[in-house]
């Protein structure tokens, strides 16, 4: 790894809110699969950290590790994850269990999962699914308070509150994704992890979701780990970007640096795998072939 290429000025960034050091995750199958190998990232308050790489490189596994959502046969085999709370306390995320872990999830760090239709319960309406968040994590809330907060959340993400009575199959893909974002925002987390939040949506809807995320981040001040294989999108919306390959973070830098002067050959191949809107199609095909083709 090129140290100069990964030296990022943090002068304009806020204090760290989430730090992972030398994180390793393995799937205990036969033979074992080392899905994440010695990954280290620092997320600062209010920033968008993009995490890019091809399918199967370990992005989602890393995200699940940050939020302690790993399930067997996945096992964290090394490293540490520390959450730097706004209260000033540092929380050892790896050491949490039981009630402490339940209080941490969604309150401190929330997640928007890939595939909104699969993430929402198909036999429960939106109201019930939002209310469940509050009955689990805010048991003292009265029903009227849960109802008011649920309506507020839908309004916040650009969905008519009358949709509280709708079931997932009655919503468009974009609306389902907005409902997932509303659920992730329900407890005012300081960090939101978004795993391919625009997958399977058409381009127009994708743009609407991205604009909504940017608007909410500016308004509410939470930090974002944004996971996608779409590097040009990350260059557009991220403050900093980390590139993953075969379970390792091979390059980190601010978005401008990654775009202007990528230090790793794989990063250059990722960039060259997307056609220019201005260049000739034949030029792109020749350039992509010369760089090793699409990642």
One digit per residue, the tens of pLDDT, for the chain of length 295 reads 333 333 333 445 689 999 999 999 999 999 999 999 999 999 999 999 999 999 899 999 999 999 999 999 999 999 999 999 999 999 999 999 999 998 899 999 999 988 766 789 999 999 999 999 999 999 999 999 999 999 999 999 999 999 999 999 999 988 999 999 999 999 999 999 999 888 777 888 888 889 999 999 999 999 999 999 888 889 999 999 999 999 999 999 999 999 999 999 999 998 887 666 565 654 444 444 444 443 3
Domain contains 86: yes
Among 253, 233, 256, which Cα is nearest to 242's?
253
Domain contains 290: no
Among 249, 210, 273, 202, which Cα is nearest to 48's?
210
When divided into structural domains, the chain yields a total of 2
User: Buried b / exposed e across 144-178, counting CB within 10 Å, b at 16+?
Assistant: eebbebbbebbebbbbebebbebbbeebebbbbbb
Q: CA 152 → CA 147, 178, 188, distances in Å? A: 9, 13, 13
pTM for the structure as a whole: 0.86
Domain contains 286: no
Note whether 35 and 52 are same-domain residues: yes
Among 241, 196, 194, which Cα is nearest to 216's?
194
CB 32 within 8 A of CB 26: yes
pLDDT at position 116: 63
Q: How far apart are CA 189 and CA 194, in angstroms?
A: 13
Note whether 181 and 35 are same-domain residues: no
Note whether 102 and 198 are same-domain residues: yes
CA quadruple 95, 96, 97, 98: dihedral, nearest 10: 160
Note whether 46 and 67 are same-domain residues: yes
Q: Which of 139, 162, 188 is the last residue of a domain?
A: 188
Domain contains 280: no
- Domain extent, residue 135, equals 117-188
């Amino acid at each position: 790894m090129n140290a100069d290429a990964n030296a990022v000025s943090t002068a304009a960034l806020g204090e760290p809110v989430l730090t992972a050091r030398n994180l390793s995750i393995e799937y205990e199958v036969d033979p074992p699969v080392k899905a994440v190998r010695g990954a280290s990232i620092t997320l600062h308050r209010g920033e968008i950290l993009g995490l890019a790489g091809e399918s199967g490189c370990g992005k989602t596994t890393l995200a699940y590790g940050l939020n302690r959502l790993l399930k067997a046969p996945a096992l964290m085999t090394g490293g540490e994850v520390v959450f730097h709370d706004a209260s000033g306390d540092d929380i050892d995320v790896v050491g949490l269990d039981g009630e402490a872990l339940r209080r941490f999830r969604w309150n401190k760090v929330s997640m928007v999962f890939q595939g909104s239709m699969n993430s929402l319960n198909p036999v429960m309406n939106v109201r019930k699914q939002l209310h469940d968040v509050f009955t689990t994590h805010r048991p003292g809330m009265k029903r009227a308070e849960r109802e008011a907060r649920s309506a507020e959340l839908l309004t916040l993400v650009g969905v008519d509150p009358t949709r509280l009575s709708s079931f997932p199959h009655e919503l468009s893909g974009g609306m389902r994704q907005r409902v997932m974002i509303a659920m992730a925002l329900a407890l005012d987390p300081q960090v939101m992890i978004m795993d391919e939040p625009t997958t399977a949506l058409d381009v127009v809807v994708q743009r609407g979701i991205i604009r909504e995320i940017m608007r909410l981040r500016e308004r509410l001040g939470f930090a974002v780990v944004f996971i996608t294989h779409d590097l040009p999108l990350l260059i557009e919306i991220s403050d900093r970007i980390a590139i993953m390959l075969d379970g390792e973070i091979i390059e980190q830098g601010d978005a401008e640096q990654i775009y202007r002067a990528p230090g790793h050959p794989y990063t250059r191949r990722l960039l060259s795998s997307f056609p220019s809107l201005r260049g000739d199609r034949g030029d792109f095909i020749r350039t992509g072939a010369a760089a090793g083709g699409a990642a």
